[in-house]
């Protein structure tokens, strides 16, 4: 008797069947939403899907993307940073002022901004760890304090003019292989953070801290050091975002361009699949959410819709993302019987 063996599932068909599981339901939903947004606005405006406008979307989303990527890291380990937009504003002002004071040396401005960003990040981490202040409260205070600091340093006005310098022009308007330099910087940061989270012990420890900090502590993980390092990382990357803001606008911006970035970063991380209680999330989903927010914002602008509706949309998306997380986790809704 001949024994029949089931056909071996190989080749492209196997890859196609496994693709949804590998990509994840969250990311597939984001891809579908992004495709829908692009399709709708592409129909409404012939130039929306043009290469020039897509580059505009990418450039505009870069600064948000940088902050969203590091927001992903801090949310994974159970924290939050509401002050990232204000940190970028301080770095923007410092980069322009240091550039001017040093006799038009771009590297001086860049180094000063990153140094200040690191100090701010370390301060946030120290307040949270050693002051035992809730991360949300600590960084909410930082949101106000750093915004005030940026305004004090700049007297509330844009500072300097940096577009006479080749380095700033290259950062803000240069291109490599057809893509804006700003986008390449986001790609490099995102890839580095992805590799850190997925393939290193440091990344695994961050997930462990966010998933169960008591178990992580009993396993010998020094949670305090990790938290301070994470907030220092946020400060440094927020400084890079501030430098790019300066390069893009041509001057140091204390508030304009950085206000509201914290909401966009948190919304992108939540939409991308980060559990706000920690222990879950990834860079890929966050970047898809950044692209979705950028495409939506640009589409509303192109259609001449009042920009205030963009804030309404962002707030609604954040609530939707958290509500979906609650349902998927099976947690009882607050205030309702089980």
From CA 134, how far away is CA 2, in angstroms rounded?
A: 69
CA angle 61, 243, 183 (to 5 degrees): 35
Element (H, E) at 43: helix 25-44
Averages of pLDDT over runs of 10 residues in the chain (338 residues) are: 53 55 74 91 91 89 95 95 94 94 86 96 96 94 94 90 90 91 95 95 94 92 95 96 94 83 91 88 93 91 83 80 70 55
Residue 307 in contact with residue 61, Cβ under 8 Å? Answer: no
Domain boundaries, the chain: 47-316
From CA 126, how far away is CA 139, in angstroms rounded?
A: 12
Instruction: Give pLDDT tens digits for 192-219.
Output: 999 999 999 999 999 999 999 999 999 9
Instruction: Give pLDDT tens digits for 248-267.
Output: 999 999 887 777 889 899 99
Token reading at 261:
């970035």
From CA 92, how far away is CA 111, in angstroms rounded?
A: 12
- State the angle between helix axes of 84-101 and 51-76 in degrees (0 to 180), rounded to the nearest 10: 110
Percentages (nearest 5) of helix, strand, coil residues in the chain: 70, 0, 25
pLDDT score, position 309: 81
Q: Which of 176, 199, 184 is nearest to 244 (CA)?
A: 184
pLDDT score, position 314: 76
CATH code for the structural domain at 47-316: 1.10.3470
């Amino acid at each position: 008797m001949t024994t029949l063996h089931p056909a071996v599932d190989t080749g492209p068909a196997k890859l196609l069947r496994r693709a949804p599981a590998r990509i994840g339901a969250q990311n597939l939903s984001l891809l579908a939403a992004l495709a829908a947004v692009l399709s709708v606005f592409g129909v409404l405006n012939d130039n929306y899907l043009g290469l020039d406008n897509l580059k505009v979307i990418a450039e505009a989303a870069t600064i948000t993307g940088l902050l969203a990527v590091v927001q992903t890291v801090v949310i994974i380990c159970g924290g939050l940073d509401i002050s990232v937009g204000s940190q970028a504003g301080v770095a923007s002002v410092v980069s322009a002022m240091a550039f001017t004071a040093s006799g038009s040396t771009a590297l001086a401005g860049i180094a000063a901004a990153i140094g200040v960003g690191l100090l701010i990040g370390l301060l946030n981490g120290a307040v949270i760890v050693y002051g035992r202040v809730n991360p949300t409260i600590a960084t909410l205070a930082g949101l106000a304090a750093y915004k005030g600091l940026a305004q004090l340093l700049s007297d509330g006005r844009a500072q300097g003019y940096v577009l006479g310098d080749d380095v700033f022009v290259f950062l803000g308007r240069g291109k490599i292989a057809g893509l804006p330099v700003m986008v390449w910087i986001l790609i490099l940061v995102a890839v580095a953070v992805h590799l850190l989270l997925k393939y290193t012990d440091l990344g695994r420890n961050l997930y462990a801290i966010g998933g169960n900090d008591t178990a992580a502590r009993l396993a010998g993980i020094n949670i305090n050091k990790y938290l301070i390092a994470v907030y220092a990382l946020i400060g440094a990357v927020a400084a890079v975002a501030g430098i790019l803001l300066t390069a893009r606008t041509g001057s140091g911006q204390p508030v304009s361009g950085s206000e509201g970035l914290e909401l966009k970063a948190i919304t992108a991380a939540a939409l991308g699949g980060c559990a706000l209680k920690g222990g879950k999330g990834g860079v890929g989903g966050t970047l898809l959410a950044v692209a979705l927010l950028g495409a939506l914002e640009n589409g509303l602008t192109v259609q001449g819709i009042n920009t205030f509706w963009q804030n309404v949309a962002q707030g609604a998306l954040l609530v939707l993302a958290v509500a979906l997380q609650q349902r998927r986790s099976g947690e009882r809704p607050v205030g309702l019987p089980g």
